[in-house]
Structure formats: structure tokens, C-alpha cells
């Protein structure tokens, strides 16, 4: 029964995190700019914890969600308040995208074990902008290669770029949104 309650709480945490994440990121940036922003703004993660909307879930009951590789600007730079440590709470549990345009999300497959800990969207950037390499059009071998930390092949780059271009043409972000259904892993 405890596992079911932890699963329900994790779902609640995900919804609350979609609200608290942007609030905490904005507050963090404003504090860095020298403005007197409280450490627990209304709608932020700490405020939600105090009001019972967020609660830590033991990592043994679910997949451990530690920050993925890269960090701020891909250099492993994580201001301590930007991620939630062992249980993955906080503003950016999987790190910040290389472009700095927001926190990494759950990606198309959800968190997957990798050389870096857990990965959700290994991304790249070119003249079209930033886009994920971990896309549904990859084969199992290609996805496994990325998760082992190997350099992406030209075919992986092509598949990822084609996927991003199709989503952009449809008016969508190339990255999976938090409300999209997760894809099954390639066979």
C-alpha cells in the first residue's frame, strides 16, 4: 500500500512541480539580480511543501531521480538551490538545457539509467536551435549508445533533427511536454 501512496504522491509532486518550478526559477534569477525575493515565494517548492502539496518520496520506492549530466551550460554547474538532490525535487531535477531556456523535462521515454546517472533528454544545438537526441525514432541500439555516453552518430543527429523539424513545423516544441504520453522504449 505504501508503494501505491508513494506513486500517487509522485504524481502530485509532478503536477505541483510544473507550477513551482517556474516560480522558483524566476525567484532564483531575481535574487541573483539583487532583488529582495524571499526564499519561499508563494507557489514555489518550499511554499508547496509547507502547505502539503509537495512531499519527498523515498527513492527506494521509485526510480531514483538524481540530476542528469550537463548542468548549467553543460559544464556540471548546479547552483545548490536549482536541483533537489537525492529525491530529485527542486526546480531542475534533471539539469538546465544547454541553451539556458529552461529545465530539462521527462523527455519522450521518462528517466533512463545512463552513464551520467539518469537521463531524460540528451540534447544538441545547431542553427535551428536546441533539440533532444533521445527521440522516439531511434532504434534500441542508438538509444543505448547515447545512454552509454558514446558520441552520437550522424544518423542519430539526422533522426533527432528530422523529429525536431516535424514538431516545429506543427507548432510544437521539439522537447516532449510534461503532459505528453511517454513512448515505449525501442525494441
Q: How many residues does the chain have?
A: 187
Angle between helices 140-147 and 154-169 (to 10 degrees): 100
Evaluate whether 133 touches 157 at the Cβ level (below 8 Å).
Answer: yes
Say which DSSP state 84 is in. Answer: B
- Half-sphere exposure of residue 185: CA atoms within 13 angstroms, side-chain side: 12
Residue-wise pLDDT tens digits, 170-182: 998 899 887 777 7
- Of these ranges, 9-23, 33-47, 73-87, the one predicted with the greatest mean pLDDT is 33-47
Give per-residue pLDDT as tens, 116-163.
788 888 888 888 888 999 999 999 999 999 999 999 999 999 999 999
Contact predicate 182/106, CB 8 Å: yes
> Is the CB of residue 18 less than 8 Å from the CB of residue 54?
no
Measured distance between the N- and C-terminal CA atoms of the chain, rounded to whole angstroms? 32
d(CA 109, CA 102): 19
Amino acid at each position: 500500500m505504501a508503494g501505491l501512496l508513494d506513486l500517487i504522491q509522485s504524481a502530485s509532486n509532478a503536477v505541483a512541480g510544473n507550477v513551482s518550478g517556474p516560480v522558483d526559477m524566476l525567484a532564483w534569477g531575481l535574487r541573483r539580480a539583487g532583488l529582495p525575493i524571499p526564499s519561499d515565494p508563494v507557489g514555489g517548492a518550499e511554499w508547496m511543501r509547507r502547505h502539503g502539496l509537495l512531499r519527498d518520496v523515498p527513492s527506494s520506492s521509485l526510480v531514483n531521480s538524481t540530476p542528469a549530466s550537463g548542468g548549467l551550460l553543460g559544464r556540471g554547474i548546479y547552483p545548490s538551490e536549482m536541483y533537489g538532490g537525492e529525491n530529485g525535487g527542486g526546480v531542475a531535477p534533471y539539469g538546465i538545457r544547454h541553451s539556458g531556456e529552461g529545465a530539462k523535462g521527462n523527455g519522450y521515454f521518462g528517466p533512463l539509467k545512463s552513464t551520467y546517472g539518469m537521463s531524460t533528454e540528451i540534447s544538441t544545438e545547431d542553427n535551428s536551435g536546441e533539440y533532444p537526441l533521445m527521440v522516439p525514432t531511434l532504434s534500441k541500439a542508438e538509444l543505448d549508445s547515447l545512454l552509454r555516453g558514446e558520441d552520437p552518430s550522424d544518423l542519430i543527429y539526422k533522426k533527432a533533427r528530422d523529429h525536431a523539424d516535424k514538431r516545429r513545423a506543427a507548432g510544437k516544441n521539439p522537447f516532449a511536454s510534461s503532459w505528453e504520453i511517454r513512448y515505449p522504449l525501442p525494441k
